[in-house]
Chains A and B, each alone.
Chain A
């Protein structure tokens, strides 16, 4: 995939002397920096380039000729990209006004007459890229997070409303169609579909739902699956019929569900939908022959029909359940992504430097304080110790190891001074 405009750093060389531009370009290209390299002879051409590309690093000749200077051009480049930094090439370093230049984004000087060679040039460029790249990555991350959040905030209500519209439709319809077909084909007078799912990591672990012949959910206090007729037929893995339901359950091996009580004949068929999901179709009270009174038993043909319908129904239910689960998973994913993006955005508040200088999170500080209080048996105060440690840490972040070394020397000098004044610190028997 080709790099996007923002994916690699762009270096702009601006110098009115063509040999200088060519030399700089050759040095940069030879160094394999993975950067886009542009060159311009004057301020006007430079601004045209800046309009086309985001300039990350400008290598500017201090004196561009025709009354233009590099610092003024940098001011204009700043308008295109406020994060632009520059290396100034000058023959008269003393002419530079360091404070203004630094404020404007000049990060380095190279004197044409003294220290400008391939090594010093690439070293200066390398130093700047080293700073630019993390900052740029961070800006990109921020921008993507903002875009992601905006997209997610737009998607979430759409997904929720889509689910609200679709949820009640597919599953009940599938159940109704299946039961309607079977009741008509077998002569059963009523039927239900029992759907049981188990997930050890969910609370409650077992959920059972029952739908009547119209596909509407049945509200009832259900017998545990382990003691139900449905449980048995799931283990048998094929349809079974019972002529006298009350008698069949009389030995206490199972308990009848509320919707099974008072029924005569039963045809129960398991439907293999998915692992962890058990579905059982139950048809009740097959009608007797025309003119006959009472119900009759479901036949072997009815069982075969139920087995075939279970195979067909499995696919239908699988799709209905999958659609429902997919929507739920989508909503959960969108919500999780929103939460994660908010968390990352909070974490990335401020610049990298500012974040480094922020004190550790409150729980971390609290834990440190507790540990110090436990360990500082003789004298000392945990809060002061932490303050001192934090001050040294920030010093190190801002000014590097040299500053810390200096700080240690200052502390040792103060201690020596106080020891001398108070007579403390001498070796005692």
Chain B
């Protein structure tokens, strides 16, 4: 017996009607279980997060990772510390939405406190090839005016594409002044999911709003850290990454374009809800 479209519309309306936030995001199994997420950021303070989630009655998986530095092929061991608090705020957002993910911290700032493009590309490759992560979050970027060299830009694009062709979902934060300032890799929208900030009543809400190569908008406020309450794309990207982790825990084998389509369809359900 074949399924027939409903009387009111075509088959796509039927599919759309099935892909609801209730079924995909609020399923009890949508916890992030079985999904590995790499945060390419400034390191994560594991002790702070463990204590925070213990107080909530939740246990998180131990966080693995490495510290990436210029001129070194192998990352230095991650010892549960942050280079700056930024990465811990990002990790807290992902874990708040998908507490059962397995986190990898790729610290690309390191003790020197600044980050180079080569180091980010090295961390991307490591997260894909060595840690086999399914999701990578990049709450960082290089403004367009600082990446003028076409060759360098192409090199960066290839590093992002490596993720796409290995079924890895990469979430990249737009520049906070988007669209006045464009930044990479967020502007490489097709092989990754680019995220701008907005305010939503529920952190699980988001929108598809294509504007100057940036496709999605997610909740731009975090919960942990001194600047978490200030709207920032740095906090928006991990929100959408956490939402994707929830979806992937229902079906871990989904490809990046499948997840992107699901996110797009899900966003239609939020369209009529008024923003916070």
Contact = CB atoms under 8 A, between A and B. Distances in A.
B112 A231 contact: no
A227 B81 CA distance: 10
A254 B225 CA distance: 7
Contacts of A228: 84-85
Given A226-B83, A254-B85, A242 B111 contact: no
A193 B234 CA distance: 25
B111 A206 contact: yes
Contacts of B85: 226-228, 231-232, 235, 253-254
Interface string B224-268: 111111101010000000000000000000000000000000000
A231 B225 CA distance: 11
A231 B113 contact: yes
B89 interface: yes
A129 interface: no
* Dominant SS among interface residues on chain A: mixed
A236 B87 CA distance: 10
Bin chain B's interface residue count.
20 to 34
Contacts of B87: 235
Contacts of B227: 232-233, 236, 240, 242, 248
B205 interface: no
Contact of B48 (A233, A242, A245, A253): A253
Contacts of B83: 226, 231
A238 interface: yes
A254 B226 contact: yes
A235 B86 CA distance: 6
Nearest to B49: A253
Nearest to B81: A226
Given A232-B84, A238-B176, A198 B230 contact: no
Contacts of B51: 252
B42 interface: yes
B234 A236 contact: yes
A232 B86 CA distance: 5
A240 B221 CA distance: 13
Contacts of A227: 82, 85
A251 B224 contact: yes
Nearest to A274: B114
Nearest to B43: A226
Interface string B19-53: 00000000000000000000001110100100110
B113 A278 contact: yes
Interface in A196-245: 196, 198, 200, 205-206, 225-229, 231-236, 238, 240-242, 245
Contacts of B112: 198, 200, 275-276
A260 B136 CA distance: 35
A235 B226 contact: no
Contacts of A196: 113
Contacts of B224: 251, 253
A146 to B, nearest CB: 41
Interface string B70-99: 000000000001111111110000000000
A249 interface: yes
Contact of A232 (B48, B52, B177, B226): B226
Contacts of A236: 86, 227, 232, 234
B89 to A, nearest CB: 7
Contacts of A278: 113-114
B114 A248 contact: no
A249 B229 CA distance: 12
Given A236-B234, A276-B112, A278-B113, A225 B229 contact: no
A99 to B, nearest CB: 67
Nearest to B87: A235
B104 interface: no
A200 B72 CA distance: 13
B109 interface: yes
A67 B128 CA distance: 97
17 contacts: A196-B113, A205-B111, A225-B84, A228-B84, A231-B84, A235-B41, A235-B109, A236-B234, A248-B227, A251-B52, A251-B224, A252-B48, A252-B51, A253-B48, A253-B226, A254-B85, A275-B116
Interface of A: 196, 198, 200, 205-206, 225-229, 231-236, 238, 240-242, 245, 248-249, 251-254, 275-276, 278
* Minimum-distance CB pairs A-B, first 4: A235-B86, A231-B84, A253-B225, A248-B226
